Structure 1
Amino acid sequence: MSESQTETDRRMLEALVCPLTQAVLTYDAEAQELISKAAHLAYPIRDGIPVMLVSEARKTD
């Protein structure tokens, strides 16, 4: 993946918000998840695509 591709992907992830609370998400590169601290949910990223469905999210502590 090129540097410009990585930067574009990172900007796209930073632009996403939690569909439940509209809060900013935190990207966890190791777990490949977007974390909503407000909703206590972790949205998975599968094959490079964020799955922004509450029904697919994992509850966090």
Structure 2
Amino acid sequence: MLEALVCPFTQTALCYDAARQELVSKAAGLAYPIRGGIPILIADEARRLK
């Protein structure tokens, strides 16, 4: 299913970070949380990458 998910801002592929339970968009510099097995692809919920 991961292959079907893209960043809502950049439309680029997301990388899965199992340790943090996040989907990472390197292009946007955001990490989207996964809660209860559901990815939350909302900018206000995303963590900014340094």
TM bucket (normalised to shorter chain) is over 0.9
Q: Which has the larger radius of gyration?
A: 1
Higher relative contact order (CA 8 A, sep 6+): 2
How many equivalent pairs are there?
A: 50
More helix by share: 1
Structure 1 vs Structure 2: percent identity of aligned residues?
66
Structure 1 unaligned regions, length at least 5 = 1-11
What TM-score, normalized by structure 2, do the two folds share?
0.93
Unaligned runs of 5+ in 2: none
More strand by share: 2
Normalising by structure 1, we get a TM-score of: 0.77
Moved over 2 A (4+): none
